[in-house]
Amino acid sequence: MAKNSLGREIPETFNGKSYIPYRDPHSIKPETFHFQRASRVLKRNYSGASKVAGGLREAIIASGLKNGMTISTHHHLRNGDRLLNDVVREIDALGLRDIRIASSSVHIVHAELIPYIRKGVITALECGVNGPIGEQISRGELECPIVVRSHGGRARSVISGEVPIDVAFLAAPYCDEYGNFNGFYGPSACGSLGYALVDAQYARKVVAVTDNLVPYPALPISVAQNIVDIVATVGSLGDPKKIVSSTTQLTKDPMGLLIAKYAAAVIDASGYLKNGFSFQTGTGGISLAVAGHVRDMMRDRKIKGSFGCGGITGFFVDMLDEGLFEGLFDVQCFDLKAVESIGRNRKHQEMSAGLYANPFNMGAVVNRLDCAILSATEIDVNFNVNVNTESSGLLLHNTGGHCDVAKGAKVSIIVCPSIRGRLPMVRDEVTTITTPGETVGVVVTERGIAVNDHLPELKAELIRRRAPVKDIRQLRDEIYAVTGAPRPVEFTDKVVGLIEYLDGTIIDTVRTVRA
C-alpha cells in the first residue's frame, strides 16, 4: 500500500496489474507510462462480399473470441440496452470463460450479468458500473475486480493499449452489410456513437451488431467499413425509449430551484457569459434548471455562444435551433430530441470520447469549456467530489465525464443539495474521491456558495453581488448543525475496485462495507 497525494491508501497491484498512485491533475504525461498508441495488425480484405456472419453466436465464433479475452460494448442505449446481456449469454452458451468486460459503461439493466459473474464467465470489469453489480461488489457479495474510469480516462486506456479490447460488439442502429453504420436512424436510434468510435478504431476485432440492416451504403458514416470486421444481425438492440434517463426534466423542488438560481448567478458573475460562451450541463433536474437560466440570460442579452457540450439533451438542441450556440459537441444523446437533431443538423457534431476528453492527445474539447455544471453524491471541505459511491459506502454510479470536465472547464460548478435524507453532502471527508478538489471551482448548495481559492476574482464578484458566499468549512458546520455529525461508514481492508483518475493514476479505492 502507498498513500496517494490525497491521503488515500492505494495498493501497488490490483488484479495482477500495477498502478501509480494519483499525484496531481497535471504532471502525469504519456511518457510517464511509456505510452504509445495502441496498434492492431493490418488486415487485407479484397472481397466486396457481405460481412454478415449471421446472428450473435456466429459473430462471436467468427471473431475468434477465446477464454481470457476482453470484450466491449457501448452504452449509448443506456438502460434500454440489451446487447451486452445477449452477448454474454451467447458467450456462456459457447462455453467461454474468464472474459473481461471493458464497455463504456454498465447500467442497471445489466444486473442480468450477475449470474454470469458468479459462474466465472465474466471475471473482471475494466469499466465503471451503475446499479446492482457495483452495489453487490461493494457489499462483498459478488467477486469481480473493477476499475472505474471516466469517459476521457477510458478513451485514454483504450487508445494507449492499457486496456486492449479483443472484440468490440458495437450496437449499430443503421448499418449496411459491409459494415458502415451510424446511430442516427432506425428503431434503435441512439444518436451519437461517441464512445463506440474509440473502440471501432482500436479493438482488434470490430463486430457491428444491427437490428436494422439497410441497403449499401449506410450514410452518413460514423463508423466506416474499412475498420469493421464482422456484421451481425439481431432482432432488437434494445429499447431506445429507455435512453432517456429519469432525470431529464427541470426540477420542481424549491430547494433544487434555489441551487439552480445560485449556480446561474455564479455563471453570470464568472465573466464568461458573453459572445463565445461555451457550456456543459448534465441531465439532472437542477442542471437543466441552470441551463434554463443560462438560456434566458443569453436571450435577454443577445449573446451568441460558441458551443454546448457533453451528453446532449433536447434543451441544448432548442438552444442551438434558436441560434444561442454556434454548435453542439455531442458524445452521447440523452433524449430522443437530441437523437432526432443529430441526424439532421450538421452543426450538431458527433464527437468521439477521445476528442471529448482523452487527456493524452493534442487537446480535448473539454479544454475549451468556459463553465460546466456537475453533480455530486458528496463533497469534502477540500472540494474533493465523490460521484461513485453513496454515503452508505456502496458503489452505485459510474464516473461519466466528471473529472474530465472539472479538469477542463475554466469554472467547474458542482450543484448539490446540502442534505439528502439527513445525510450531509458537504462533509469532512468524502467516502470516495472521484474528482480532486483542485480541479473544482465552485460548490453550490441551497445553503450557500463556496468558491475555491484558485478563483479569487469570482469570489469577490459574487460577494459584491451579495450572493450567499460562504467558506466551505462554514457551510459544512451549518449543515452539521442541522443533521448532526455522521458516524463514518466502516470498511474492511479488502480492495474490490479502483477509481482511476483521467491520467491513469489511482485516486481512490473501493473497499467492501463492513456489515
Binding site for another protein (CB under 8 A): 252, 254-255, 257-258, 261, 391-393, 420-423, 446-447, 465-466, 482-484, 486-489
Between 176 and 446, name the residue whose CB sits nearer to another protein.
Answer: 446
- The nearest distance, CB 254 to another protein, in angstroms, is 4
Gap between the Cα atoms of 469 and 459, Å rounded: 7
- The nearest distance, CB 485 to another protein, in angstroms, is 8
Which cell numbers in the block locate residue 410? 475554466
- The nearest distance, CB 393 to another protein, in angstroms, is 8
Question: Degrees (nearest 5) of the Cα angle 390, 391, 392?
Answer: 85
Rounded to 10 deg, the angle between the 285-300 and 254-270 helix axes is 50
Q: Is the peptide bond before 220 cis (omega within 30 degrees of 0)?
A: yes
Gap between the Cα atoms of 177 and 213, Å rounded: 7
- The nearest distance, CB 417 to another protein, in angstroms, is 10
Between 349 and 432, name the residue whose CB sits nearer to another protein.
Answer: 432
- The nearest distance, CB 151 to another protein, in angstroms, is 31
Gap between the Cα atoms of 501 and 7, Å rounded: 15
Between 102 and 257, name the residue whose CB sits nearer to another protein.
Answer: 257
- The nearest distance, CB 260 to another protein, in angstroms, is 11
- The nearest distance, CB 422 to another protein, in angstroms, is 4
- The nearest distance, CB 498 to another protein, in angstroms, is 24
Between 9 and 478, name the residue whose CB sits nearer to another protein.
Answer: 478
Between 128 and 417, name the residue whose CB sits nearer to another protein.
Answer: 417
DSSP 14-29: ETTEE-PBP--SSS--
Among 330, 311, 328, smallest CA distance to 319 is for 328
Among 417, 414, 423, smallest CA distance to 394 is for 423
Cβ-contact 14, 1 below 8 angstroms: no
Between 346 and 466, name the residue whose CB sits nearer to another protein.
Answer: 466
Q: Which residues pair with 76 in a beta bridge?
A: none
Between 120 and 488, name the residue whose CB sits nearer to another protein.
Answer: 488
Between 142 and 489, name the residue whose CB sits nearer to another protein.
Answer: 489
Among 351, 275, 262, smallest CA distance to 306 is for 275
Q: What is the DSSP letter of 30?
A: G
- The nearest distance, CB 395 to another protein, in angstroms, is 16
Between 247 and 483, name the residue whose CB sits nearer to another protein.
Answer: 483
Q: What are phi and psi of 354, to 5 degrees?
A: -70, -45
E-strand ranges in 177-277 read: 181-182, 205-210, 230-233
Give the 3-state secondary structure of residue 209: strand
Sole residue written with cell 459491409: 178
CB within 8 Å of 146: residues ≥ 6 apart? 124, 125, 127, 128, 129, 134, 137, 395, 496, 497, 498, 510
Which cell numbers in the block locate residue 51? 460481412
